[in-house]
Amino acid sequence: MPKPSLGAPGVYLTEAPSGNRTVTGVTTAVTAFVGRALRGPVDEPVTLTSLAQFEQVFGGLWRDSALGYAVRDFYLNGGGTALVVRLAGGATSAELDVNGLRLIASGPGSWANHLTARVTHPVARDAHEIAHAETFDDEDLFHLEIRDTRPGSSDAPEVFLNVTLVDGPRRVDRVLAESRLVRVDTMPEGLARPGEGTYDTAAGQGDDGRDLVVEDYLGGEGTQFEADGLGLYALGRADLFNLLCLPPSRPDGDLPPSLWPAALGLCAARRAFLLVDPPVGMRPAAFPQWVADLGLSGEPSRNAAAYLPRIRRADPLRDGAIGAFVPCGGLAGVMARTDASRGVWKAPAGLDAGIVGATGLEHVTGDGESALLNPLGINCLRTFPQAGVVVWGARTLRGADTLADDYKYVPVRRFALYLEESLYRGTQWVVFEPNDEPLWSQIRTSLGSFMQDLFRQGAFQGRTPREAYFVACDAETTTQYDIDRGVVNILVGFAPLKPAEFVVISVQQKTAGAVG
């Protein structure tokens, strides 16, 4: 705080900063979906907050992709914010030739084969007034209407008034940057405004491509998907995501097995959590070996959980016929719902963790399957009377009894990731501050207040804050050697809540006349 310049005698006021830095907890259930969609931008993480937005941007449900069904399950089960990355699988884009002005669909796919452009010219008086204000000729202005004429399309026509090919704020390529349907391919030079009329897309130009292969997610030889932020690695351009879902190309299909280890590595690097879906038709007894064959092991597997079997539910695109779908979207929604109502430290499992919309399971799972899979770190979905389909397991892939890992349980791991990300973001202000006791005191106060708030919410074990958590930042954690290297060490410990998996009730017979 600068000192006031004391000249004439009088009273001088200054505002002194409190020195308190607040740590704000990050969101816990931002869910990323990567897969195939009917339309929309490619290799671009798009933030959505509702199913209606997904339908508007990516075209909604599509029979040839499981992505839309997973997103629908996410929102139906309480999901909030989603990140969707569309992969095209070699799909091509349709074009519109509007009297020499080439318009290209905003994304590849056959959906754009039904686009039409209608050109009209403004009334001469209106055109003269606008042209005079913008310093170009009356004959340069035109109105452009883009319409999706697919049967059943609910998209409203896009109307762009008073656009021009002349440089200026109303130049057509700049105006169409806001369009959901088309973009200008290249701006022509010396082209007169298009004549009035309707212009159609050439038949068969847009193509939906093929089912996704591993190269669509990770790139092939000679590509740099991770460096360029393409495919799965487009999520590297997202600020934050907590859960990752990878729906297969088709509802009745599977993912390339080699994709799962790469997805787990990305989650470990981004402090996110991977939801592993079972292959189609896989029996519970074969699932542990399948997971082992994927190579999802070691410490990174703390950031993943596997659930089976697939859920069965009605498909509105097939007149309500019952089909089997991957459970990841519904599971992410259950986690979001549990986080909002109880906190990220509560296990997203139990009779309250029902998957809304599921009518059954691809394979019946009972106590026998749970007894087989739970000790191996595999979670079952179960069906109970009145409760429906529920999540009946909360173990990570490091949750096998033989491993005795600190992060055996899903809520413990997700809560630790939440703490790590919140503390990481909440201590950015420390960089380049003087590394001495005043700074350490501020750090202890800031982080201690954050941990104390979580303690009051019931996030930790222990009757007192001393039993529940600690924050250490002093001369013991940061030595003179650390100070000379510009390092400040902060140690945060917490006592996590662990779920009650087994409730043991002992019943003892009391004989008549017995005392006590």
Percentage above 90 pLDDT, the chain: 71
User: Average pLDDT for residues 191-196, to the nearest whole number?
Assistant: 87
Q: What H or E segment, with its residue span, contains residue 341?
A: helix 328-341
129 — pLDDT class (breaks 50, 70, 90): low
Residue carrying the six token digits 């879906």: 277
Q: Predicted confidence band at 134 (pLDDT cuts at 50, 70, 90)?
A: low
Longest dimension (CA), the chain: 109
Asked if residue 128 lies in contact with residue 138, where contact means CB atoms within 8 angstroms, the answer is yes
pTM here is 0.92
Pairing mode of beta strands 491-494, 141-148? unpaired
**Bridge partner list, 324:** 312
- Tokens 């704020």 belong to 169
Cβ–Cβ < 8 Å for 80, 50: no
Average of per-residue pLDDT across 161-168:
86
| Of residues 70, 92, 25, the one with CA closest to residue 327 | 70
16-20, 307-311, 319-323, 475-479: which range is least confident on average?
16-20
pLDDT at position 38 over 60: yes
Q: Is there a contact between 102 and 187 (Cβ–Cβ < 8 Å)?
A: no
Under DSSP, the state recorded for 51 is H
**Domain 31-89+210-412, CATH class in plain words:** alpha beta
Q: What is the topology classification, in CATH, of domain 95-200?
A: Immunoglobulin-like (2.60.40)
- C-alpha to C-alpha distance for 284 and 281, rounded to whole angstroms: 9
User: How far does the chain reach from its first CA to its final CA, in angstroms?
Assistant: 70
For the chain, the domains span 31-89+210-412, 95-200, 433-516
The residue type found at 391 is: V
What are the CA-CA distances from residue 358 to residues 35, 69, 251 (Å)? 22, 12, 15
Decide if pLDDT at 125 tops 90.
no
Name the least confident of 88-97, 140-149, 186-195, 418-427.
Answer: 186-195
Amino acid identity at 131 = A
Tally of residues, the chain: 516
pLDDT at 130 over 80: no
Q: What is the C-alpha to C-alpha distance for residues 302 and 310, in angstroms, rounded to an integer?
A: 22
pLDDT of residue 442: 94
Q: How far is CA 248 from each of CA 27, 241, 306, 321, rounded to the nearest angstrom?
A: 26, 20, 15, 20
**Average pLDDT over every residue of 460-472:** 95
pLDDT over threshold 60, residue 132: no
What pLDDT is stored for residue 491 in this prediction? Answer: 96
Identify which has the larger pLDDT, 258 or 505.
Answer: 258
Instruction: Give pLDDT, residue 501.
Output: 79
What integer pLDDT is reported at residue 15 of this predicted model?
81
CA angle 403, 409, 415 (to 5 degrees): 130
Q: What is the pLDDT of residue 203?
A: 67
Backbone dihedral region of 205: left (phi > 0), alpha (psi from -120 to 50 degrees) or beta?
A: alpha
Give the mean model confidence (pLDDT) for residues 385-408.
Answer: 95
Residue-by-residue DSSP string for 350-373:
STT-B-TT--EESS---HHHHHHH
Q: Got the DSSP string for 23-37? A: --PPPS--EEEEE--
Whether residue 127 is predicted with pLDDT greater than 70 in this model: the reply is: no
Predicted confidence (pLDDT) per residue in 405-435, tens digit = 999 999 999 999 999 999 999 999 999 999 9
Q: Helices 410-426 and 437-456 meet at what angle, rounded to 10?
A: 140
Q: Could you say which DSSP state residue 193 is in?
A: P
Q: Which residues share a beta bridge with 118?
A: 145, 198
